[in-house]
Amino acid sequence: MSQSILIFDFKSNEESAQTAWHRIESWKKGFRLGNKLTAKFERTQEEPAAEEPSKKSKKKSEAEEETGQVRLLIRLSFSDHEKLSYTRWLDRIPTEEPFKSAKPEIHNQTDATYDKAQELFDSLD
């Protein structure tokens, strides 16, 4: 079985991450990929810097609290006889529009970093 995990770091751009998520879901339905293409979000909240109380608007302070890092993890899992489809998706995803802006990390099953990426993917809901 050919497997890879692609990690896209969208930093604090939640809108691009959601667009990428919708793109993945449309591919799954349109190309009938099922469990061959699985995606999960990893969100981490950054601690806001300690500031003195001021007369900032409530909306601005709420927006600052919501800033954090958003990463989209995609697992490609194709059987051995689908090697061509696997390589096409592996080449295609990082070149599509919502994914171009994010810095991709690609962890192939043969890489030493794959196990760590697989553990991260499995730990997310």
The more confident residue out of 87 and 53 is 87
Looking at the whole model, is its pTM more than 0.85? no
Is residue 47 over pLDDT 70? no
Radius of gyration (C-alpha) of the chain in whole angstroms: 17
Mean pLDDT of 33-38: 95
The whole-number pLDDT of residue 61 equals 41
Using pLDDT thresholds of 50, 70 and 90, give the confidence band for residue 60: very low
Domain presence at residue 52: no
Instruction: Give the CATH number, domain containing residue 84.
Output: 3.30.70.120
Average pLDDT over every residue of 64-86: 88
Decide if 38 contacts 73 (C-beta within 8 A).
no
Domain span including residue 24: 2-45+66-123
Count of domains for the chain = 1
Q: Let me know if residue 54 belongs to a domain.
A: no
Half-sphere exposure of 39 (CA within 13 A, CB side): 20
